[in-house]
Structure 1
Amino acid sequence: MNTTGSPLTPTYEVIIIGAGLGGIGAGVALRRAGVENFLIIDKWPKVGGTWLANTYPGVAVDIPSPIYNFSFQQRSQWSRLFAPGSELQRYAEEVVDAQGLRNKLRLGAGATKSVFDEIDHLWRVTLEDGSVLTARFVIGAVGGLEQPSTPDIPGIEEYTGKLMHSSRWDHDYDPGGKRVAVIGTGASALQLIPELAESVSRLTVYQRRAIWIAPKPDFAMGPVLNAVLNFPPVQKTVRAVGNVGVNAGLGAGLAVSNYPRVTGAGLTIGETALRAYLFAQVRDPELRRKLTPDYRLGCKRPSVSNSYFRAFTRPHVDLVTTGIERFTPTGIVTADGTARDADMVVLATGFKVMEKGYTPPYPIYGRGGIELGDFWDAHRFQAYQGVSVPRFPNAFLIVGPYAYAPGSYIPLIEATSAHAARVIGEARRRGATCVEVRQEPHDRYFERMDRRAKRTHLFSQGCASSNTYYINYQGDGAAFRPSTQLEMYWENRHFPLDDYRFGTVSPVRTGANGSGATIPAPVR
């Protein structure tokens, strides 16, 4: 507690929590706003976030590489159209160096708690080693795909073989020639399963829901194509057109949610095409039936692969659709009583997205000691433009509720980073030490997004039973923004600054406990 009678000056103007592409993008946005006194912290020893943590065999971006880069630093040298994850991690390193952010990093320093000081208008961020950093503003750049989801299966703790989550791959263990089981058939499993099928003696895949898959137009980029992309006008055109195309492919149904007939017709056409692709890959009707989703296209993020379906046609690969009953010390027993032994079990079971205790992954205490996770649990996940939450002054999110308009994550990062930097820049201009989003504009945004989301096919065509992370445990579509990325881009850069309330710390205290500080009136 400050007992000097004078306002405390924080060590940093801004702390960015997370050194993935989100934190890097936020750092660049701050520099563009003239902010230099900031620090980027991360629990990992290197930058890259998702692309550092996920190193399982076959990991790759599912967005074409030429458009999966920042507008301010477009990369033209890619090995493939859909680059492997290691190249994305190297790209993150390249951006850090090119943008002069290396001396702004403190790695191996994860946050365990953030507390807002209402008297001195600053945040105290506790690190894993127990040290505390102070900053006027905090930007949370921990991605949505951060906290692994481990299934609650009876007996899992008794299993004596090798158990690992796909996002925490142990490269010291060689699965070659072994009996391997994979639980889950989502986006990670889609890439992992064909790779494992090449080397293991027996591969058993436990599927709860089949997944919609399109062919992957992947190919080696080569020196000629990379040279063409290195020409700035071509590079910018490809990125712009590609982002529009990806947004249309992934988010068109959300953008035209008020036109259910158009949406339904589009989904039917897409489903017919993808069923035809499955038919061309798998001729066994029973296997094809197991691999056909029982929910509408678009309930989950669509995936692409040229090898996933064919992996199941190999004689040593089994697809099990009967539910798992329990683990044994040597394997897995399904509900029909069948026991299958496995030397290794891979949990390709995704991440905890918009779940209590995991989004955010550490406690954040705002005004009045309210904790952000508890607030969202009690009042539903919500944030103005996906960035700001009332009662949490001087705090911003890069991937908050209703932030992400489906498509590439890069435009999202640039949009929300620009939002946070604009507010911080305005606070500097006004000499304000405290800024908080007003309740009325926040509520209008939440109500608009919630209303739109509930009109989408996610809530009208049976998606709730598809186990999609787009719909959280509260029955809300908080993980996505039901809009085009163009709207996301524009609104995060042109929102009325009056949607925020600005205030200052009193320069003179009336008491040792700082009771003379002026704090903006509570947001109403």
Structure 2
Amino acid sequence: MVTRTVVDHQIVIVGAGFSGIGTAIALRKAGFDDFVMIDDADGPGGTWHWNTYPGIAVDIPSFSYQYSFEQQRSWSRVYAPGRELKAYAERCVQKYGLRPRIRFGTTIERADFDDTLHLWRLSTSDGDELTCRFLIGATGVLTRPKLPDIAGAERFRGVTMHTARWDHDIDLRGKRVGIIGTGASAIQIIPEIAPQVAELVVFQRTPIWCLPRPDAPMPPVARALMRLPGGQFLTRWISQAFVELTFPLSAHYYKVLPIVKLGERTGLAHLRDQVRDPEIRAKLTPDYALGCKRPSFSNDYLKTFNRENVTLETDPITEITASGLRTTGRHHQVDVLIMATGFKVMESGNMPTFDLHGSGGLRLEDWWDTHRLQAYEGVSVPGFPNFFTIIGPYGYNGASYFTLIEMQTTHILRLLRQARHRGATRVEVTAAANERYFQEMLSRRGTQVFWQESCTLANSYYFDKNGDVRCAP
């Protein structure tokens, strides 16, 4: 391959989910038109393109789960179903003229920074090399399915599928189904499929905090309010206040505000109201503080365990057999095995989703292994010039992803504007500035819920292999 010395595009955005779409819109508004988006899917939407399982819906109010500059009035419910989020992504791509700038069906496999020419060399799954001045990672964290490490998985003769790659050709009616996991996806799937299947075995490692969900068809009064002057601002403000109270403020100021205790009382009352059997109720009761791991909202999940055809299995799985799953207590025969085991989040190979080598050939994963997961404002890492991430380490605080996307694209645009103004071809955070930010993040642990002793029981993906929680207020 001939080494390219020209810049194909000023900016390459990897990812065409909401992070990538939001970044692209911000770039266009700021007059940065020489960019391309790369995505391995065949359509936009990221998480909402790949996840199509039964019952999928947003887990915060729709008023907050959208761009502040592109608010939609036509959500069918307070918590919009997944198909509407996918349609919203498509509409944003169309409205802002992004489709001609997206290269679908292409995976970035490796990125190398050229210290001499101050550009990135990207190797694609097509065998091409693509060069750019600035590289923006917008691949998100909920993109790479995580499969459980259980012996015998290859022996299973039935159907296996992960929630993020749902096979709609599989008819679950009358089938014996096993589902591993009780996280956010499982909570939505289980009530949907339980009435269809002959038997449903739910394999739970750690119970999840489940609170009532204030969901309903979008009230006519809300639709009318959004048409009035200031109405959209008011409905979004109320929604944002609810989102901030239920996670960022309660989790990050656990020792200052009593919100978590109120939430725990609400969750336990919800559990008592929904589950009749005291033994099952005890198995569904978390023994860690609310906020240690991602909680969820559902009005249907808990009461599903009242059904005769639903079994809650809490004994550890020892192996997968040809016909089902064996636990320490018994063997469960199943026809279909659903992996509701989440995503790799910030594990190796997920952030970024490609092999990235910065200045001097330094590999990002090696730098993080040595220095712990960190990024200045969640955006930049020293030693990796002209590379920015959306919602990188310490760039997530529990707020709506759209709020965070807009904040981080604003940060990136400040840097790009300065580079354009100065005629600079290399932009890099200093090690000193990054260290100050990292230490500030660590200093805030004293008030956060994550450092309560009970969090050691939560099996939470918030914690990385170093025991850090890569989010901050």
Report the TM-score when normalising by structure 2: 0.97
Does 1:426 pair with 2:418?
yes
What residue in structure 2 maps to residue 499 of structure 1?
Answer: none
Q: Deviation per CA, 1:118-138, whole angstroms, max 9, x where unpaired?
A: 111111111111111111001
- The CA deviation at 1:99 is 1.6
- The CA deviation at 1:9 is 3.2
| 1:331 aligned residue (324, 331, 337) | 324
Does 1:438 pair with 2:435?
no
CA distance in 2, matches of 1:469, 1:455: 20
Please say if residues 254 and 453 of structure 1, whose CA atoms lie closer than 8 Å, have aligned partners that are also in contact: no
| 1:201 aligned residue (198, 202, 206) | 198
| 1:451 aligned residue (439, 443, 455) | 443
- Mapping of residues 86-125 of structure 1, within 5 Å: 86-125=83-122
What residue in structure 2 maps to residue 132 of structure 1?
Answer: 129
- The CA deviation at 1:245 is 2.2
Does 1:351 pair with 2:343?
yes
What residue in structure 2 maps to residue 243 of structure 1?
Answer: 240
Letter aligned with residue 471 of structure 1: F
Q: Choose 1 or 2 for highest CA Rg.
A: 1
What residue in structure 2 maps to residue 300 of structure 1?
Answer: 293
- Corresponding residue SS for 1:75: coil
Ranges in structure 2 where 5+ consecutive residues have no aligned partner: none
- The CA deviation at 1:419 is 1.0
Please say if residues 381 and 434 of structure 2, whose CA atoms lie closer than 8 Å, have aligned partners that are also in contact: yes
- Across the aligned residues of Structure 1 and Structure 2, the Cα RMSD in angstroms comes to 1.6
Please say if residues 141 and 350 of structure 2, whose CA atoms lie closer than 8 Å, have aligned partners that are also in contact: no
What residue in structure 1 maps to residue 308 of structure 2?
Answer: 315
What residue in structure 2 maps to residue 49 of structure 1?
Answer: 46
Cα–Cα, structure 1 residues 121 and 372, in superposed 2: closer, same or farther, change >3 Å? same
CA distance in 2, matches of 1:70, 1:268: 31
| 1:220 aligned residue (217, 222, 230) | 217
- Mapping of residues 443-522 of structure 1, within 5 Å: 443-453=435-445, 455-478=447-470, 480-481=471-472, 483=473
- The CA deviation at 1:394 is 0.4
CA distance in 2, matches of 1:292, 1:230: 43
- Corresponding residue SS for 1:449: helix
Cα–Cα, structure 1 residues 453 and 145, in superposed 2: closer, same or farther, change >3 Å? farther
What residue in structure 1 maps to residue 158 of structure 2?
Answer: 161
- The CA deviation at 1:225 is 3.6
- Corresponding residue SS for 2:63: helix
| 1:11 aligned residue (8, 30, 44) | 8
- Answer with 225-234 or 344-353: which moved more: 225-234
- The CA deviation at 1:230 is 3.5
Letter aligned with residue 53 of structure 2: Y
| 1:229 aligned residue (226, 230, 239) | 226
CA distance in 1, matches of 2:446, 2:231: 39
Report percent identity of matched pairs.
Answer: 47
Q: Deviation per CA, 1:205-242, whole angstroms, max 9, x where unpaired?
A: 00001111111111111666434324451112211332
Please say if residues 14 and 136 of structure 2, whose CA atoms lie closer than 8 Å, have aligned partners that are also in contact: yes
Q: Deviation per CA, 1:102-130, whole angstroms, max 9, x where unpaired?
A: 22111111211111111111111111111
Please say if residues 45 and 89 of structure 2, whose CA atoms lie closer than 8 Å, have aligned partners that are also in contact: yes
Does 1:398 pair with 2:390?
yes
Please say if residues 115 and 359 of structure 2, whose CA atoms lie closer than 8 Å, have aligned partners that are also in contact: yes
Letter aligned with residue 310 of structure 2: V
- Corresponding residue SS for 1:267: helix
What residue in structure 2 maps to residue 210 of structure 1?
Answer: 207
- Corresponding residue SS for 1:278: helix
Moved over 4 A (4+): 1-4
- Corresponding residue SS for 1:77: coil
Q: Deviation per CA, 1:331-359, whole angstroms, max 9, x where unpaired?
A: 000012x1110000001011112212322
Letter aligned with residue 279 of structure 1: R
Please say if residues 155 and 321 of structure 2, whose CA atoms lie closer than 8 Å, have aligned partners that are also in contact: yes
Letter aligned with residue 293 of structure 1: P
- The CA deviation at 1:10 is 0.3
What residue in structure 2 maps to residue 287 of structure 1?
Answer: 280
Give the total of aligned pairs: 473
- The CA deviation at 1:3 is 8.0
CA distance in 1, matches of 2:3, 2:221: 66
Q: Deviation per CA, 1:30-52, whole angstroms, max 9, x where unpaired?
A: 12221000001100000000001
Report the TM-score when normalising by structure 1: 0.88
- Answer with 357-366 or 321-330: which moved more: 357-366
Q: Deviation per CA, 1:295-351, whole angstroms, max 9, x where unpaired?
A: 111111221101101111000000001110101000000012x11100000010111
